[in-house]
């Protein structure tokens, strides 16, 4: 898996132009990308920095390729279809000034904050598996220098989890009754969409694989739900 990730092109994209440019441009990158080439490759990683600064139409144009793994470009001469199975990663501030999560620090007006957040629609956000708020580290966290888990250790855990997933195949995850009850409750309360259900279940299965568990239990599901909880921060 890590070899796969290293072999694809990792592309960082900031605010740029119109939705038309995103549709036409080489915004899907893969093993053989050529800027300006109209044959975009697939299986790349697309990182959109400052997500809240992109035009709404540009972001919404990503919904179809995210769902279908292909992108269609229609022009007078006809419609072309390109492979576009990519991993979308994005980052954004809580508000235009970036201080929105710290009490009393935000200098944005209510209108500015609302306009900024309106760029990210609930259906677009629903397509993200993980939405995680990241706060600034405290002074003691920066100064205490507690050793973090090494990248090599993390890579070994990821490889182990992927091997478990590969050996299991594409079968539906097996959930405990408690885990199923939790998901049923979230669906009934309207906190989980049908699409979100599939995403939470898959993330919970991955968490279970990382824990070397055969069955997805309530703890795995609860952690997967927590990893989507940042949606409420983005779409207020
Ligand atoms: Zn602000």
pLDDT for the residue numbered 183: 96
Q: Read off the pTM.
A: 0.73
- The helix (H) or strand (E) run that includes residue 194 is helix 194-210
141-234 CATH: 1.10.8.60
Residue ranges covered by each domain of the chain: 2-128, 141-234
pLDDT under 50: residue ranges of the chain: 1-41
**CB-based burial label for 164 (10 Å; 0-12, 13-18, 19+):** middle
Q: How far is the CA of 129 from the centre of ligand 1 (A)?
A: 26
pLDDT at 18: 38
**Cα 209 to averaged position of ligand 1 atoms, centre (Å):** 39
Distance from Cα 94 to the centre of ligand 1, integer Å:
7
Would you say 120 and 51 are in contact if contact means Cβ atoms under 8 Å apart? yes
Supply the CATH classification number for the domain 2-128: 3.40.50
Whole-angstrom Cα distance, residue 157 to residue 212?
A: 10
- Rounded to whole angstroms, how far apart are CA atoms 59 and 120? 8
Tell me the three state secondary structure of residue 126: coil
Residue 7: how many CB atoms within 10 A of its CB?
10
């Amino acid at each position: 898996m890590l070899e796969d990730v290293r072999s694809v092109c990792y592309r960082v994209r900031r605010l740029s132009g119109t939705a038309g440019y995103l549709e036409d441009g080489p915004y899907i990158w893969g093993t053989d990308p050529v800027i300006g080439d109209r044959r975009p490759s697939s299986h790349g990683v697309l990182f959109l920095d400052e997500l809240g600064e992109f035009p709404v139409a540009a972001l919404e144009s990503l919904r179809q390729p995210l769902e279908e793994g292909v992108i269609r470009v229609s022009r007078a001469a006809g419609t072309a279809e390109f492979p576009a199975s990519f991993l979308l990663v994005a980052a954004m501030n809580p508000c235009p000034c970036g201080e929105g999560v710290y009490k009393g620090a935000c200098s944005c007006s209510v209108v500015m904050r609302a306009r900024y957040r309106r760029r990210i629609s609930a259906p677009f956000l629903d397509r993200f598996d993980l939405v995680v708020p990241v706060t600034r580290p405290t002074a003691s966290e920066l100064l205490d220098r507690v050793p973090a888990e090494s990248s090599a250790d993390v890579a070994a855990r990821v490889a182990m989890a992927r091997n478990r997933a590969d050996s299991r195949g594409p079968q539906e995850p097996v959930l405990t009754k408690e885990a199923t009850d939790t998901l049923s409750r979230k669906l009934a309360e309207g906190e989980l969409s049908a699409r979100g259900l599939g995403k939470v279940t898959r993330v919970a299965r991955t968490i279970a694989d990382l824990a070397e568990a055969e069955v997805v239990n309530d703890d795995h599901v609860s952690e997967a739900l927590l990893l989507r909880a940042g949606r409420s921060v983005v779409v207020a």
